[in-house]
Chain A
């Protein structure tokens, strides 16, 4: 009885000792040095693994941050300036502060503004729909409404509005990782600076057709009339392919273009409501969420 207990204890102990020696030797022999900073930096990062920085995950981004000399062009959009600042302090490197950005949808073609002329019967996917034809409406530049962007969003910052058939971006949740921009086959999602109090002005249209055709397809299309271009005091608006574009870094948010747009295709967000003048049409304010 005692013999067998002794035997097994001895056997297991000696096995353990041999294994320990082997493991020790192997770990010394094949030791790979890893900068302990990498783990520290990784702990600071948001661990979203969204690939918004361009690296496949937070760990590899941390490696990149530690191993590159100049990290001023590296940025974690999810963590933002605070995270980047603390990482820079830890590493003793310098970062440039960036304006926080947010995704905006450059299309207002809801079901009643942009009537459907055909029907797509295939699988529910924008990418497949875009492969087959230009979309259910007559506008071949606008939102297809199948929700590839919503599916791509890792942060639940988007949902499809059933009434309009367009995706809505919840600005507070948006981390500007860029997954939706990549997922959209029509390239109608843009990253724009958040500004103070999330005030934004942008052209909510991508239609490059001539005015008449664009207007026929969609009531709120940009018809390329250049009125906003003429009125802009800062020269922030450029016209190309029958389409206006507002440069967010030149725009001073004066809202002159919003009032003058004949088709209401310029969107302003989160501005306080205007005092309505008698002869000016009330402008539809689109708020996020």
Chain B
């Protein structure tokens, strides 16, 4: 019996078209557009000027506070503009535009470098490297990793969970990484074990990635500290709270973090970035991105420099199909449609999904028939239909009392609704209003 979380969840079509395609290196983009707010928290502060020459890995925007992160130049070149450009949020945000000069590419071409297993740094040095090299959670939430790893003394952490679930349909970035860089990821885990003094590790992988599970099992046969757990295929298992529940049967408290039940959860992509930062002093300047879609000619996985416009990736997979309706940044469940193809790849982009006319069409919303499907699938045990009605009627206080803020925005409710009601749209809206009301109050 495979492990999974007990409440709710759905199983959408997997459509993992690219799972057998090795990660290719994307040709160097001519120009990169690096937004300064690629993470949750305070935007970074720009420390370069126009016409300044930058080298690969140079800090171009300094961390703006504690919950913030450094941003490094992904290419060597010249800063041509500091301008506001549309990023994946749909709004114009401050970006650093760098033109590549194709000259100095000597540093950090280390995807192909040999495995380095020996950990030379001390605990504090490791954490310092993670802070300095701009590592953020690469699962999608882009929470600065150094904040997650900076544990207060009174908290007891006994488990480190490595999130290789990748429950979003279509995406295969983490899957490919687990196949191709498994040894490096194991070293990355050892680094964290050493730095945080944790000796119980679980790698959670969904059962549709059998080769990745076998791969890790083979590598950890002599290591009794690291366990590999196969999980039942169910969305949204990749969410922290659900994963902790699945693997350890521990319930993360409402408005709490996995830290409160003694667990730290990290994505496999983050672990690989930590490995590179600690062993090779490489900042987070590139990541794996899946470019896919049912009608895309040649869907693949790529190593992409942060700041590369989506256009470059789409050209690489054979251009946009004719009846393209939407391009989604991320997976089909939680991703967000982007406004145009000039939008840059950021640290949080795990996939670019091209969706055609017939797939993208949103059916007309009808009245709620009280079937209870949304309640049945909600992994947080909420009542989405009620929350939507309350938000629609502007009864925010009641919605707050019905725990609207614990919604993880997985979209399962909207997915199953037979009346095609925009449940998640309204819940998100209600959450944003309540957040605003709370900040106004303070």
Contacts and interface: CB of A to CB of B under 8 A. Distances in A.
B219 to A, nearest CB: 42
Nearest to B421: A123
A209 B92 CA distance: 10
Interface string B67-101: 00000000000000000101001111000000000
B426 A123 contact: yes
A51 to B, nearest CB: 13
Given A133-B339, A134-B91, A140-B91, A122 B432 contact: no
B425 A123 contact: yes
A117 interface: yes
B400 to A, nearest CB: 17
A132 B426 contact: no
Contacts of B91: 133-134, 140
A131 interface: yes
B102 interface: no
B429 interface: yes
A134 B426 contact: no
A128 B429 contact: yes
B349 to A, nearest CB: 16
Interface string A100-122: 00000000000000000110011
Interface residues on A, range: 10 to 19
Interface in A161-209: 209
Given A121-B362, A140-B91, A128 B425 contact: yes
B428 interface: yes
A134 B86 CA distance: 9
B323 to A, nearest CB: 14
B365 interface: yes
Interface in B134-170: none
Interface in B362-380: 362, 365
B425 A134 contact: no
Contacts of A123: 365, 422, 425-426
Contacts, number: 40
B304 to A, nearest CB: 23
A127 interface: yes
Nearest to A133: B90
B324 interface: no
Interface residues of B, number: 19
A117 B339 contact: yes
Contact of B336 (A128, A132, A209): A132
A133 B360 CA distance: 17
B421 to A, nearest CB: 9
Interface in A76-132: 117-118, 121-123, 125, 127-128, 131-132
Contacts of B337: 133
Nearest to B424: A122
A134 B422 contact: no
B340 interface: yes
A138 B322 CA distance: 23
Contacts of A133: 89-91, 337, 339
Interface in B33-65: none
A133 B327 CA distance: 14
Given A123-B365, A132-B90, A140-B92, A118 B339 contact: yes
14 contacts: A122-B362, A123-B365, A125-B429, A127-B429, A128-B422, A131-B432, A132-B90, A132-B336, A133-B337, A134-B92, A140-B91, A140-B92, A209-B84, A209-B92
Q: Which 7 pairs of residues, A with B, have the shortest CB-CB distance?
A: A133-B90, A121-B362, A123-B422, A134-B91, A128-B429, A122-B425, A128-B425
Interface of A: 117-118, 121-123, 125, 127-128, 131-134, 140, 209
Interface of B: 84, 86, 89-92, 336-337, 339-340, 360, 362, 365, 422, 425-426, 428-429, 432
